[in-house]
Structure 1
């Protein structure tokens, strides 16, 4: 009976150690997951900012093109109304 008790106590200690190891691994995995989520969120925010900046650049270029086309059209229009000799 005493041998069985010692055997069970050893098994209990082994299970406790296994539990501590598993809890440590679980904590490590959770920290790694949180770090990955934080990294992905930061990347997402950076990409959103870059996309917004790029979109604004495109809008500004379109406005400039329209402005130049208008100026070109005005210049061509004023040349066509000039009297010819």
Structure 2
């Protein structure tokens, strides 16, 4: 997976995507997401690194089967809140 961390005034913003979706655009009706290098590009990370970062995140954006499945498995995202955009899972969470 590709992991990016950004410290913001409101906390840690994390973006995670599966490597195979980086640079792709997915559309489903009025919903569209482009997995840009600018936002999602970062360092290659394994599941334990991503899990540790998600545990510290205030906000997270996730795209791809592995990234979203890990967030669900670790209890950060409820499976019913995952969007399917052109067959690709996308989820976000905000921790308050």
Same fold (TM over 0.5): no
Q: Which is greater in Rg?
A: 1
TM-score (norm 2): 0.15
Higher fraction of helix: 1
Higher fraction of strand: 2
TM-score (norm 1): 0.16
